[in-house]
Amino acid sequence: AAGVIQSPRHLIKEKRETATLKCYPIPRHDTVYWYQQGPGQDPQFLISFYEKMQSDKGSIPDRFSAQQFSDYHSELNMSSLELGDSALYFCASSLDPRGATNEKLFFGSGTQLSVL
Amino acid sequence: AQKVTQAQTEISVVEKEDVTLDCVYETRDTTYYLFWYKQPPSGELVFLIRRNSFDEQNEISGRYSWNFQKSTSSFNFTITASQVVDSAVYFCALSEANSGYSTLTFGKGTMLLVSP
């Protein structure tokens, strides 16, 4: 079965650069979620989209923005990168915005962002 | 206040030992969902189980079992006859009605090291 696809798998950037992470949800899923996991930390919710509209917002910095496109894939854009942005970024998708009500809530394999 | 507490930061066992990972949660909602995820060294988040707050039945899946007790707000995870491949960080997570079940709040994780 198709899973949540994230690209790239790894990304290395310099301070003050920009980065774009992509997430392709499971087919027919209309909701995507972004989480950030710092080194040795638990995943923290950033933002979610349902039917191409922002549905929920967590601890996402103003330097970050995201959107969901007509094909339901989502992109997380990060500007003016800082060393502290180095983290594993996960995307998850679900059939509707009540993600936890899905029998299983799957995450992508994550994008490891390293800011040097 | 932390909503999901995994008091054990790290546990080390020898192969074939049984091990229990503790999870205590806090919520004012009467309806909520609890999850366990496994994060092996490769980094991906692997879904293990989802439990609805109305379903207190314990569950067993192979060597894995879960003990959900609302009276103590705990959702503990036991691995029987542990194997080296069980070495990973295990996260307990909560999703609540007041968030529309849209996001997960993770515990800090328990790192399990299984040695041969």
pLDDT at A1: 65
pLDDT at A86: 98
Task: Tell me, yes or no, if A86 comes closer than 8 A to chain B by beta carbon.
Answer: no
Q: Are A85 and A55 in contact (CB under 8 A)?
A: no
pLDDT at B6: 97
Q: Tell me how many degrees the CA angle A61-B110-B55 measures, rounded to the nearest 5.
A: 90
Which residue spans within chain A are E strands per DSSP? 5-7, 10-13, 19-24, 31-37, 44-50, 53-57, 64-68, 74-78, 87-94, 111-115
**Residue B107 has which token pair?**
């515990």
Spatial CB neighbours of A71, under 8 Å, sequence gap ≥ 6: none
Instruction: Quickly tell me which residue has 């980065």 as its tokens.
Output: A19
Q: What are phi and psi of B70, to 5 degrees?
A: -65, -30
pLDDT at A101: 83
- Note whether B108 contacts A105, CB cutoff 8 Å: no
Q: Are B93 and B37 in contact (CB under 8 A)?
A: yes
Give the Cα separation of B66 and A109 in Å (integer). Answer: 25
Q: Tell me how many degrees the CA angle A38-A61-A79 measures, rounded to the nearest 5.
A: 90
Q: Which residues of chain A have pLDDT under 50?
A: none
Give the Cα separation of B9 and A38 in Å (integer). Answer: 16
Helix (H) or strand (E) holding B59, with range, is strand B59-61
pLDDT at A96: 82
Q: Which residues of chain B have pLDDT under 50?
A: none
Instruction: Quickly tell me which residue has 């509209």 as its tokens.
Output: A53
- Note whether A101 contacts B33, CB cutoff 8 Å: yes
- Note whether A110 contacts B45, CB cutoff 8 Å: yes
- Note whether A56 contacts B91, CB cutoff 8 Å: no
| Other residues' Cβ atoms within 10 Å of the Cβ of residue A11 | 16
- Note whether B103 contacts A45, CB cutoff 8 Å: yes
pLDDT at A105: 84
pLDDT at B58: 86
Q: Tell me how many degrees the CA angle B92-B93-B98 measures, rounded to the nearest 5.
A: 155
Which residues from chain B sit within 8 angstroms of residue A99, using beta carbons? 95, 101-104
Interface test with A, best of B101, B108, B111 (most A CBs within 10 A): B101
The partner residue sitting opposite B103, judged by closest CB among A33, A90, A106, is: A33
